[in-house]
Amino acid sequence: MVRFSTMFSMLVFLMFTGSHSEAELIAVQDSNVVGNGNSPQDGFNVTRDTISGLEWLDLTLTTGYSFNEILPELEVNGSLEGFRHATRDELVGLFASAGIPDVDFWPGTAANRLPTMHLQDLLGITSPGFPQPDLFSTLGVTGELRGNGHQTATIRHNDQIGAAFLPDSGSFNPDSFESEIGGHWLLRTVPEPSSVVLLAFAFAALAHVKRDSIRRDDCRVR
Ligand SMILES: [Ca+2]
Ligand SMILES: [Ca+2]
């Protein structure tokens, strides 16, 4: 049993350190994902949230698509197969992973500024100089319905503040409406390799313990 508890504490240690080293958003380039043909502003078209295990597509790659136009792209054999619109909770989770402290505060806070800028560096800025010349905005359509249309979410900054918000009134309507300064908040799930490794380790540890106990039983029989 000593061995098992050693294994167990090693496993707990790995899970603990694993979750800490992963507290980060990572830029990923997937050459299979093209979207509207724009180049990703940072050279990477996908942002992996290692906390939620979700991958977010740059919003600059989905400007110019109306809601009706993007739906077929999300289907099997579409140019964005595997992606779907984000829920409000998933967006709030992304903002948390980015370290944005004050969500849904408008016109924004000073504490939001650096983490919001960092998230915009990753996802791209769809509308520089909007709605005011000094503001840099990333606008997109979510998977939520609010009022008479699809709820939008926006992150933006200027040289003073940052803001991340999902207004209940701000909607994308009608479904045929398209914008050159607004994209779509799209995400997909990725398998978490670290979890797979941990699981494999857990199985190996259990198998080892089982082998040991069988061996001990064998000794007893003899
Ligand atoms: Ca279009
Ligand atoms: Ca990017």
Q: What is the pLDDT of residues 52-91, one digit of tens each?
A: 999 999 999 999 999 999 999 999 999 999 999 999 999 9
Instruction: Look at 49 and 212; give whichever has higher pLDDT.
Output: 49
CA distances to 3, 23, 52, 102, 144 from 99, in Å? 40, 10, 14, 9, 23
Distance between Cα 75 and ligand 2 center (Å): 22
Is pLDDT above 90 for 4? no
Distance between Cα 88 and ligand 2 center (Å): 21
Can you tell me the distance from the alpha carbon of 51 to that of 49, in angstroms, rounded to the nearest whole number? 5
15: pLDDT confidence band, cut at 50, 70 and 90? very low
Instruction: Supply the pLDDT for residue 197.
Output: 65
Name 38's Cβ contacts closer than 8 Å, sequence gap at least 6: 60, 61, 63
- Token look-up 């005011």 returns 132
Distance between Cα 143 and ligand 1 center (Å): 18
Is pLDDT above 60 for 33? yes
Q: What range defines the domain where residue 97 resides?
A: 21-191
Distance between Cα 132 and ligand 1 center (Å): 25
Ligand 2 ion: Cβ-proximal residues, 5 Å cutoff: 40, 42, 44, 58
For 157-215, the pLDDT digits (tens) are 999 999 999 988 767 889 999 999 999 999 999 855 556 666 776 777 777 776 766 66
Say if 4 falls within a structural domain.
no
Distance between Cα 36 and ligand 1 center (Å): 9
3-class SS at 93? helix
Contact yes or no for 182/126 (Cβ under 8 A): yes
Per the omega criterion (within 30 degrees of 0), is the bond before 72 cis? no
Question: What percent of the chain shows pLDDT beyond 90?
Answer: 68
Say if 8 falls within a structural domain.
no
- Which ligand has its closest atom nearest to the C-alpha of 27? 2
- Which ligand has its closest atom nearest to the C-alpha of 67? 1
Distance between Cα 137 and ligand 2 center (Å): 15
Instruction: Supply the pLDDT for residue 195.
Output: 60
Question: What percent of the chain shows pLDDT beyond 70?
Answer: 79
- Which whole number is the average pLDDT over 9-34? 66
Can you tell me the distance from the alpha carbon of 176 to that of 69, in angstroms, rounded to the nearest whole number? 8
- Token look-up 């806070």 returns 109
Say if 2 falls within a structural domain.
no
Say if 104 falls within a structural domain.
yes
The mean pLDDT value of the chain amounts to 86
Can you tell me the distance from the alpha carbon of 99 to that of 79, in angstroms, rounded to the nearest whole number? 31
Say if 218 falls within a structural domain.
no
Distance between Cα 60 and ligand 1 center (Å): 13
Distance between Cα 165 and ligand 1 center (Å): 25
- Which ligand has its closest atom nearest to the C-alpha of 73? 1
CB atoms within 10 A of CB 59: 27
- Which ligand has its closest atom nearest to the C-alpha of 41? 2
19: pLDDT confidence band, cut at 50, 70 and 90? very low
Is pLDDT above 70 for 18? no
Distance between Cα 133 and ligand 2 center (Å): 23
Total of domains in the chain? 1
Instruction: Supply the pLDDT for residue 14.
Output: 47
Say if 184 falls within a structural domain.
yes
Ligand 1 ion: Cβ-proximal residues, 5 Å cutoff: 64, 178
CA distances to 50, 65, 202 from 15, in Å? 14, 41, 11
- Which whole number is the average pLDDT over 94-119? 96
Is pLDDT above 50 for 222? no
Say if 211 falls within a structural domain.
no
CA distances to 137, 150, 199, 202 from 21, in Å? 30, 36, 18, 19
17: pLDDT confidence band, cut at 50, 70 and 90? very low
Say if 216 falls within a structural domain.
no
